Amino acid sequence: RWKQVAVPVVIRAKNGHILAFDVCQKPTNQPRVNNAWSIDHRPQVVPRVIHAASVAFKPGATLTTDGSSSYPKWVRTVGAPVQHKVQHSPIGNTDYDPLFAINVLFAKMRNDLARLGRKTWTTSKTIAALRNHLWLYVAWVNGYRLR
C-alpha cells in the first residue's frame, strides 16, 4: 500500500465503452516508510486522459464525474467542448444512480483483473505492465476484433 496507483478512466455511459485511461502514481495515506511514493501524478495524467477522450465528444456533450474537488479544474485545463456535471451516488436504496456505469465498470475491472482487487497478493511489478494489461482489458470490453 505504500506504492499506490490511480487509474483514471473515461467511459461512454450509454454503451460502457472505455474511451481513454491511464495509470499514475498517487501518494499513500499509510505511515511513511523509505520506499513510499510521495508524488501525486494525477494532476498531470487526468487532464491528459480527458484530452485523449475529447476526440469522441460531440460539442455540448456532458462529462459526469463524482464529487472530487479536483475534477472541475482538470476539465477546465483541457478546454474540451463539454459541460461538466458533478454527481454523487445516492446513499440508501434508490432506483437511480447517475454514476452507475462507472461504478459497474470499476467493479468489473476489480473482478476480472486480479491485480486490481482490493485485497490481493497479486500486483503488477511496474506501471507499464499494468497499463499493458489494461489495454488488453479495454480491447476485450470494447469488443475489438483481430482481422
Give Cα separations from 63 to 20, 35, 71, 145 (angstroms): 13, 36, 10, 28
Distance of alpha carbon 112 from alpha carbon 109, whole angstroms: 5
Residue 55: per-residue pLDDT = 87
Q: In the chain, which ranges are E strands?
A: 4-6, 9-12, 17-21, 24-26, 61-65, 82-86
Walk along the chain (147 residues) in steps of 10 and give the mean pLDDT of each run: 82 88 83 70 91 87 88 84 84 79 87 79 81 91 82
Grid coordinates representing 72 are 472541475
Contact 84, 71 (CB under 8 A): yes
pTM for the structure as a whole: 0.81
Q: State CA 132 to chain mean position distance.
A: 15
